[in-house]
Structure formats: C-alpha cells, structure tokens
C-alpha cells in the first residue's frame, strides 16, 4: 500500500500551478490586499514601492518600504510588502538603493502586467483576463515530425487594406475567420510569431505614428506587447487579446510558437535587470567592458543561476498563463547548453523548442559550452535552423548578389542532400563537401529546421532577383517553387516566412527591421495575381502531410528509407523506399532540377505515377512516366511513385 504522505504529496503536486515556488518577482493581487516581492543583490540597502493611479505620469498615491526577508536559493535577499485595500487598476514601481543612492523606478525584472510603454507594473486580477472558455483551451496535439512552421509578424500580416482583416497590426487579427481560413487553406499548423512580448522601440502612446519594428529589443519579457493590443493603456487589453488569439488558433488546430529574445535587452542602463540588480544579468569581457555576442550592445549571462532561472520561469509562465506551444530562441548560440537543456527539462515534451544556432558576435563564455548548431546533438529535443540548406539553395547570407543551386550553379548538391536528410549522419552525405557543417549535427531529423527564407535577410523573391540578374517572372516563380519543394520534402521540420505563399517582396530591402509598412506588409492582392503560387504551396504542404515518407521523424528510418540517386550538377534526386508504415505509396522519387534545361535521371524499369511536374502538384496523378529513363523539366521539381 502506498504510504499516505506520498499520496498527499502527489495530490499537492497536481493542484499546485506549475510555476509555483520561489519566483524572482511576484505581485499577488487579492480583493483585500496585494503582496509584492522581489529579489535584489545582497548589498541592497532599501527597496521602495510606489503606487500610482496611472501607467505613466502623475505622483504616487502611496509609497511603501519593502521589508528584507529570506534569501532565495541563489543567495539573493527577497524584499516583501503587503499593501491593504483593493489595488486593481493601480500601477507600481520598485526603486532599489545601493551604496546610498536609489537607482530609479521600474516595474521590476518580471512584471506580468504593465502600463503603456511598460514603465510601470500594473496590479490586475489575472483571472479576469481569461476569455470565455479559456480554462478548456487545449494545445493541438501535433508530433514534432508533423509540424509545418509559419513565421509571421503581427503588423506585416494584417496591416495592408488588402488583407481584409479588421484588427490591422493587432493580435486579434489572427483570431479573425479570414486569417484562420488562410492558414488552414495553406496547411500550416504552427504560427511562429516574431517578438510578441513587450518591446521598447514602438511608442505605444503614439501608435498613430505607425512606427514599425520587428521587436528584437526586449523590455518586459513576461508581458505581451502593447502596440499589438487595441488599447495599450489598458493593462488587461493586451493580455486578454493575446489569449483570444491563442484560443482562436488552438480551436483551428494551429499551435502558437513565440520568438523569445533572452539573449540581450534593448539597452543596458535602461533595462529592468540593470536597474534592479546592476551587472548581475550581463556578461563582461576580461577588461570589464560589456560583451556583445548579440550584436545589439550586450549579452545576458544564461550561465549564471539568476539568468538561467529567469529564463526557465519565463517560458514556463508563457506555457501556463498563455498556453504557448513552443519557443524559437533568438541567437541561441549566446545561451549555454546547460541552460537550454534545463529549459527542455522544465517544459512538457509537447513544447517544441528550436533556435538560431549561432551568435552575432563573440561571447564572453567558453565557446564549447554555447548552444551552437554544431552542438545540437548535445541538446536532445532542441532544434536549430539549417543555414546549410538555406544558403546552398539561395546563396550565402553575407552577399545578396551571390547565387547558388537555384541559379543552376554546381557544387551545392551535398549541402542540399544534408538538408534533405535532416542533418543526421546519413551514409550517402559527404560532409567534406557540405558548405558549413563538416559533420552531422542532429540526433534526430526533427532537430533541424528546413528553410530557405525568414524575416532576416532578403525574402525569397528579392533574393532571386538580386542573385540572378535578368531573371524573368516565369523563372522566378519556377525557382521559388523549386526552393520550397526542397524545404518541404526535407526530413527536417519545414519552416516558411509568412507571405512567401503570396510571392511577397520587400522591394529588395535586406534588413527591414524598422522599414515602413510599404516594405514589410503582405500584399494580399498577390493571391489573385499569382494563384499558381499559393496553389503549389498548398498542394506541396498537403503532399508532405499526407505522406509519412516525407517526414519519417526518426534517424534510423531516414537512414534505411532515404536513398540518394547519383547527383548531377545542380540536380539532387532521391528515393524513398517502399514499405514505410502508414505510407500508401511504394517507391517515391523526388528530383530537384535547377538547370535551365531538361535533365534525365535513371530509375528502375516500370511505370510511375507523376504527382509533381513542371510546377504543378496533384496527388491524384499528373499522368505517368516509364523507367528507366525519366525526363525532368528545367528549373522545377518532379515527384513520382509506383
Ligand atoms: Ca512596448
């Protein structure tokens, strides 16, 4: 019989919220009183709490001194106060005194609700922000191997009048039936949102200025961005509307993935980390200067317990409070492997985790211990973007004018093969000829993100125009679709930039992080101008999703079922062998031909049904071909099976 104390412990564990325990900052509201708690450095001399009627301006209505309490598990003192009365709708700041001086007011390191522009915390009854039915909201169950990722920016997606969406540039746009219908028709099942936490660069009190930013300038990590709400001055609006968005996507069977940017803050001196606990969250060089591995002026120190715990607490909070289904770590190569593994451990298995396996400068930390792409095999259950397949297709990130496979140039075949195999140790991939990775870096193919474009660098249309002078519209469409066929028939997890399905361009702008809407917006009229593009994307995604062969999800299966045919210059071909569990087709052949003329491939004798040829896809068949010699049209993919 089970001892009774163990049974009680189990029940307690079930009842306790997953984020309970020693948190670094808490503001617990109740009708009668609100308690405030924060940590500081051990030499803090005093902490003041100020209560305000407004999110900005005005004098405090109350000032309270916090009392120093116990130290937390990392040795930092906690400071506490209880303020009686109903504080809902009030705002607050902390102000810490070190070496005889108060450092200035801020909402603390981990506010969960804030006023306009995130300068003051807000006291709210969090439960009152839940939309109707929120308690029964559930994450769609989708295995990692079945994911199709769609990277979008809230403003890009909906701001143009042609979107026909009501809530332009807002979280709520994604809750509208037209938006959902578009995503469902395309067939993506996970929306990866560019920074949606509170960032600094857009003045929320003057949204009429229509300032644009991607949002890689974090201010409050645990609060949704105010500029994407219908009323940034109402602390509840952004929280409620964010949840409504998640709920609508979940109801449609679409997962919600957040782009998280823990690797740096928008600046050092103005950051809540620095105001509350000077120098504790940032890495420094040996000479005492701040290290800048993020390329944004600073880098956080995930290797320190305080920052590691901060990140773990934060992602768990987004999962618990907002029902988030996955995280994309910006510059994961700034974070240490141990922290990334601790985050994986702290989150349920269904939460998908991936990141940029690089940094933007050298970090003040042992390079062998950082979360780089080459170290993904040391981080089971975490994926990284494959710049290998991306650049093998379109050309290097360092030069927009340089082309690669898509231009019909030879020498990129092995890098594409590596990407098709999900970066596993496939016996037919010669890593000596791969552009960047000189050895396999994944344990499982689901640890590789397969893509050809994202918000960074030129989008695919601009890159094709820039790297292939004189390209015709017909060629551009053919090569765009060829590129995505490589991406979506890869055993990695496919990822696309929002708007590629409507042939978006950014007028050639390489880094559009603060470009106006006229550069960044999706032009939805393109759906009518280029219906063949949307249809191809849609049919390609459906082809992948309907056929297990294209997403085996297991390294041993990929090794045994994926066999490459001899490559030719600017041509990669492979065979997915018969007898794949759940796969209705027998032998499947995929040929990616970037040459400007027809090529032939040799396959076993027999009759094959063509399902993709000459930029058309039809799973029911586009006619047949006879082996052993099959002609493959120029600048396009061909897929056939028996
Ligand atoms: Ca903001």
Q: So what's the pLDDT on residue 2?
A: 39
At residue 570, the pLDDT reads 98
7 confidence band (pLDDT: 50, 70, 90): very low
Question: Over 60: is that where the pLDDT of 484 sits?
Answer: yes
Contacting residues for 609 by C-beta, under 8 A, at least 6 apart: 621, 623, 624, 640, 641, 642
Find the largest Cα–Cα distance for the chain: 86
How many angstroms does the Cα of residue 161 sit away from the middle of ligand 1?
24
Total Cβ atoms within 10 A of residue 610: 20
C-alpha–C-alpha distance, residues 99 and 97, integer Å: 7
Note every long-range contact of 238-241, with CB atoms under 8 Å and residues 24 or more positions apart, other chains counting. 238/171, 239/113, 239/124, 239/126, 239/129, 240/129, 240/130, 240/131, 241/170, 241/171, 241/172
Compute CA distances 232 → 172, 195, 225, 238, 308, whole Å.
14, 16, 8, 7, 30
Which pLDDT belongs to residue 193?
Answer: 98
Instruction: Please report, in angstroms and rounded to a whole number, the separation of the first and last CA atoms in the chain.
Output: 58
What's the CA-to-centroid distance between 72 and ligand 1, angstroms?
Answer: 30
Return the structure tokens found at 143.
């295995």
Q: Find the 239 Cα to ligand 1 centroid distance in Å.
A: 13
Q: Return the active site residues.
A: 330, 356
Strands, E assignment, 216-254: 218-224
Do 200 and 217 touch, CB atoms closer than 8 A? yes
**Residue-wise over 137-161: b if at least 16 C-beta within 10 A, else e?**
bebbebebbbbbbbbbbbbbbbbbe
Cα–Cα distance measured from residue 625 to residue 628, given in angstroms and rounded to the nearest whole number: 9
22 — pLDDT class (breaks 50, 70, 90): confident
- Say how far apart CA 588 and CA 592 lie, in whole Å: 13
User: Angle at CA 155, nearest 5°, toward 149 and 157?
Assistant: 45
pLDDT at residue 17 in the model:
37
Specify the length of the chain in residues.
Answer: 642
pLDDT reported for residue 51:
98
- pLDDT for 6 beyond 90: no
Complete DSSP assignment for 626-640: EEEEEEE-TTEEEEE
256's enclosing H/E stretch is strand 255-260
Burial class (CB in 10 A: 0-12, 13-18, 19+), 273: buried
DSSP 58-127: S--SEEEEPEEEEE-TTSPEEEEEEEES--TT-EEEEEEEETTEEEEEE--TT-SSB-GGGSSEE---GG
| 198 CA → ligand 1 middle, Å | 4
Reduced to 3 states (helix: H, G, I; strand: E, B; else coil), residue 541 is: helix
Region of residue 523 (phi > 0: left; psi between -120 and 50: alpha; otherwise: beta): beta
pLDDT at 253 over 70: yes
Do strands 588-593 and 218-224 pair parallel, antiparallel, or not at all (unpaired)?
unpaired
The answer to whether 93 and 102 are in contact (CB under 8 A) is no
pLDDT at position 377 over 50: yes
Cα separation, 206 vs 208, in Å, equals: 5
For 140-183, the pLDDT digits (tens) are: 999 999 999 999 999 999 999 999 999 999 999 999 999 999 99
Phi and psi (nearest 5°) for 432? -65, -20
pLDDT score, position 18: 35
Residue reference for tokens 């504790």: 280
CA of 363 to the centre of ligand 1 (A): 27
Q: What is the pLDDT of residue 46?
A: 98
pLDDT of 203 over the 80 cut: yes
Spatial separation of the C-alpha atoms in residues 81 and 78, rounded to whole Å: 10
What was the pLDDT predicted at 20? Answer: 37
CA distance 531 to 327: 32
Which residues lie across from 106 on neighbouring strands?
Answer: 94
Q: Which residue has the higher pLDDT, 602 or 6?
A: 602
Query: Ligand 1 centre and the CA of 496: distance in Å?
Result: 26
Decide: 153 and 512 in contact? Cβ < 8 Å.
no
**Average pLDDT of span 240-267:** 98
Q: How far apart are CA 520 and CA 510, in angstroms?
A: 11
Structure confidence at residue 274 as a pLDDT band (50, 70, 90): very high
- pTM attached to this predicted model: 0.95
SS (H, E, C) 195-216: CCEEECCCCHHHHHHCCCCCCC
Three-class SS string for 139-178?
Answer: CCCCCHHHCCEEEECHHHHHCCHHHCCCCCCCHHHHHCHH
Distance 118 CA to ligand 1 centre (A): 6
Distance 457 CA to ligand 1 centre (A): 24
Report CA(324)–ligand 1 centroid distance (Å): 20
In the chain, what percentage of residues exceed pLDDT 90?
97
Q: Do 98 and 278 meet the contact criterion of CB atoms below 8 Å apart?
A: yes
Average pLDDT over residues 592-609: 98
Q: Quick one: pLDDT at residue 446?
A: 98
246 close to 258: Cβ distance less than 8 angstroms: no
Residue 4 has a pLDDT of 43
The helix or strand, by DSSP H or E, that contains position 352, with its residue range, turns out to be strand 352-355
Query: What integer pLDDT is reported at residue 420 of this predicted model?
Result: 98
Cα(204) to ligand 1 centroid in Å equals 6
Q: Judging by DSSP bridges, how do beta strands 25-29 and 33-39 pair with one another?
A: antiparallel
The token pair that represents 618 in the structure block: 């039809």
Residue 117 Cα, ligand 1 centroid: separation in angstroms? 5
| CA 112–ligand 1 middle distance (angstroms) | 13
The structure tokens listed for 553 are 């999800």
User: In the predicted model, is pLDDT for residue 8 greater than 90?
Assistant: no
Q: How much distance in Å is there from the Cα of 87 to the middle of ligand 1? A: 23
Token pair of 158 as six digits: 């909906």
Distances (CA, A) of 587 to 535, 540, 553, 640: 25, 18, 18, 8
**What's the CA gap between 122 and 115, in Å, rounded?**
6
Structure confidence by residue, pLDDT tens digits, 52-111:
999 999 999 999 999 999 999 999 999 999 999 999 999 999 999 999 999 999 999 999
Measured between alpha carbons, how far is 430 from 411 in angstroms, rounded to an integer? 12
Tens-digit pLDDT profile for residues 496-516:
999 999 999 999 999 999 999
Task: Give the C-alpha separation, 292 to 460, whole Å.
Answer: 30
CA of 474 to the centre of ligand 1 (A): 42
């Amino acid at each position: 019989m089970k001892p009774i104390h163990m049974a009680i412990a189990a029940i307690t564990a079930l009842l306790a919220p997953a984020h309970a325990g020693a948190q670094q900052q808490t503001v617990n509201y109740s009708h009668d009183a609100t308690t405030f708690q924060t940590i500081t450095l051990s030499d803090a001399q005093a902490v003041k709490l100020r209560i305000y009627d407004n999110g900005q301006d005005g004098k405090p209505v109350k000032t309270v001194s916090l009392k120093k309490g116990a130290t937390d598990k990392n040795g930092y003192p906690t400071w506490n106060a209880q303020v009686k009365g109903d504080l809902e709708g009030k705002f607050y700041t902390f102000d810490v005194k070190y070496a005889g001086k108060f450092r200035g007011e801020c909402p603390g390191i981990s506010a969960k609700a804030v006023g306009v522009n995130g300068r003051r915390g807000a006291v709210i009854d969090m439960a009152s922000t839940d939309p109707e039915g929120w308690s029964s909201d559930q994450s769609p169950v989708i295995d990692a191997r079945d994911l199709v990722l769609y990277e979008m920016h809230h403003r890009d997606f909906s701001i143009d009048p042609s979107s026909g969406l009501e809530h332009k540039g807002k979280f709520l746009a994604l809750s509208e039936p037209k938006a959902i219908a578009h995503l469902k028709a395309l067939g993506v099942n996970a929306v990866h949102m560019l920074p949606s936490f509170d960032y600094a660069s857009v003045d929320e009190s003057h949204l009429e200025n229509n300032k644009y930013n991607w949002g890689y300038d974090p201010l409050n990590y645990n609060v949704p961005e105010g500029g994407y709400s219908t009323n940034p001055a109402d602390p509840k609006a952004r929280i409620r509307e964010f949840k409504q968005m998640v709920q609508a996507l979940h109801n449609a069977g679409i997962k919600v993935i957040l782009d998280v940017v823990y690797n740096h803050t928008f600046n050092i001196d103005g950051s809540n980390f620095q105001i509350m606990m000077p120098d504790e969250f940032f890495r420094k060089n040996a000479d005492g200067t701040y290290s800048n591995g993020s390329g944004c002026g600073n880098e956080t120190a995930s290797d320190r317990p305080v920052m590691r715990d901060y990140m773990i607490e934060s992602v768990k909070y987004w999962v618990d409070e907002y029902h988030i289904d996955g995280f994309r770590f910006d510059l994961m190569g700034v974070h240490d492997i141990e922290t990334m593994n601790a985050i994986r451990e702290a989150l349920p298995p269904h939460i998908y985790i991936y990141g940029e396996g690089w940094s933007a400068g050298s970090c003040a930390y042992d390079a062998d211990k950082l979360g780089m792409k080459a170290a993904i095999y040391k981080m089971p259950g975490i994926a990284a973007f494959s710049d290998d397949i991306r650049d093998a297709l379109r050309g290097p990130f360092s030069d927009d004018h340089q082309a690669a496979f898509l231009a019909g140039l030879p020498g990129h075949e092995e890098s594409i093969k590596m990407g098709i195999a999900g970066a596993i140790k496939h016996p037919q991939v010669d890593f000596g000829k791969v552009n960047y990775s000189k050895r396999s870096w994944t344990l499982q193919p689901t640890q590789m993100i397969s893509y050809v474009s994202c918000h960074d660098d030129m989008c695919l249309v601009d890159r094709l125009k820039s790297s292939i002078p004189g390209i015709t519209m017909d060629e551009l469409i053919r090569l765009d679709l060829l590129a995505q066929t490589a991406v979506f028939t890869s055993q990695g997890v496919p990822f696309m930039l929002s708007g590629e399905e409507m042939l978006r361009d950014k007028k050639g702008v390489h880094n559009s992080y603060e470009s106006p809407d006229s550069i960044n917006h999706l032009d939805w009229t393109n759906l009518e101008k280029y219906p063949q593009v949307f249809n191809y994307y849609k049919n390609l995604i459906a082809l992948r999703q309907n056929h297990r062969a294209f997403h085996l999800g297991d390294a041993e299966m990929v090794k045994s079922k994926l066999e490459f045919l001899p490559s030719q210059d600017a041509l990669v071909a492979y065979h997915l062998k018969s007898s794949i569990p759940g796969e209705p087709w027998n032998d499947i052949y995929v040929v990616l031909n970037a040459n400007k003329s027809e090529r032939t491939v040799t396959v076993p004798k027999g009759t094959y049904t063509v399902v993709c040829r000459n930029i058309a896809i039809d799973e029911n068949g586009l006619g047949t071909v006879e082996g052993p010699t099959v002609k493959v049209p120029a600048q396009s993919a061909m897929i056939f099976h028996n």
